[in-house]
Amino acid sequence: MKILVVVHEYPPVGGGGGQVAKDICAGLAQRGHAVTLLTAHYNELPREEIQDGVRLVRLPSLRTEPYRAGFITMGAFVLAGLWHGRRLIREFQPDVIHAHFAVPAGPVAWVLSRLTGIPYVLTAHLGDVPGGTPEKTDGWFHWVYPFTHAIWRRAAQVVAVSDFTRSLARKHYPVDVQVIPNGVDLAALPCNRGEAGNPPRILFAGRFMQQKNPLRLVEVLARLKHLDWTCVMVGDGPLRGGVETAIAEAGLASRFTLTGWITPPEVLDWFDQSDILFMPSRSEGLPVVGVQAIAKGLAVVCSRTGGFLDIVTDAVNGYLLDPDDISGFAEALARLLTDGARLRDFQQASRIQARKFDLPLIVRQYEEVFEKVVKGSKP
């Protein structure tokens, strides 16, 4: 098959959704499909290149930050996607279009499909669904929401990344939604974990935004000053200044490392050097960092929300708690920091839990969806 993929974020730009698109595209290319991907240009990245067998075409973009895309930059991506997408379709002649995110990739796929008759598959992430990530869906998304119904209805198939995302979507969009979780290539993520670090290292990875709740992490760890630990916070975003201030006020500057926005391979290097993933998020679809963490054999302490319910079995490979349960988070972390045997058991259980997210299984599910859609679109 020839597959045209549209996604506004692609590593090293953006977060987990872009990484998901990258992994699926590489897997499809490996299985012999021709894959071309339209994404947003940023900084000094090449305008066009071949990566993992996938042709990347980066469109002119107003994007100025790798970790955030606002309304204007998304609008610019839609316009560029329509202009360049029509040309690319004439040249590439794809069998199917795959859009990651209902906004902004969805409008591009919808218009291109209307113009050419090529069917599209929509993969919905949590930020696409009203109420999923309030800082987005309760803000500017509120104004474009009435126009999104046609994008969902017109899709030949809608895919959600978790049961939680699907259930939330079904409240607003009465269409058939299939769940295909985000995956990771376990073969490319070896777990050579030995003894826990001395002291154990706690890891946070994600955008510094309200959804990820990074200030809660500092608040919890301030209660555990009497225990030995270090913490690495990977990522960047508008709350970074507040996080740095909170760390300084708690007198914990010597125990924290803030890496800023780094490349995906560098993120994985920190996984190799860490013992516990701590994510007090207020909402999640199916977080890629969570899947990567269990693949790397980390214990997980996180919020009882969204896709974390698929990643963590409570008291087996981690702990699930309310995002505002400061005492509960502190107690859960203390158990792991003070009980080496428990920590090792949780880490081993994480690796077993990761098997259901192995990338070849996920890629094959997408391949089956595309084959069904392409077959159904031909007379």
What are 54-78's pLDDT values in tens digits? 999 999 888 888 877 777 888 999 9
Instruction: Supply the DSSP symbol for 131.
Output: T
Q: What is d(CA 259, CA 243) in angstroms, rounded to the nearest whole number? A: 13
CA gap 295, 358 in Å, rounded? 9
- % of the chain beyond a pLDDT of 70: 95
Q: What is the mean pLDDT of residues 26-47?
A: 96
What rounded mean pLDDT belongs to the chain? Answer: 92
Does the global pTM surpass 0.75? yes
| 238 CB burial (10 A radius; 0-12, 13-18, 19+) | middle
192, pLDDT greater than 70: no
What the chain holds in terms of domains, given with CATH numbers, is 2-183+358-377 (3.40.50.2000), 186-357 (3.40.50.2000)
The pLDDT of residue 64 is 84
**Which pLDDT belongs to residue 135?**
59
Q: What is the mean pLDDT of residues 82-94?
A: 96
Backbone torsions φ then ψ of 305, nearest 5 degrees: -155, 145
**Which one has a higher pLDDT value, 22 or 283?**
22
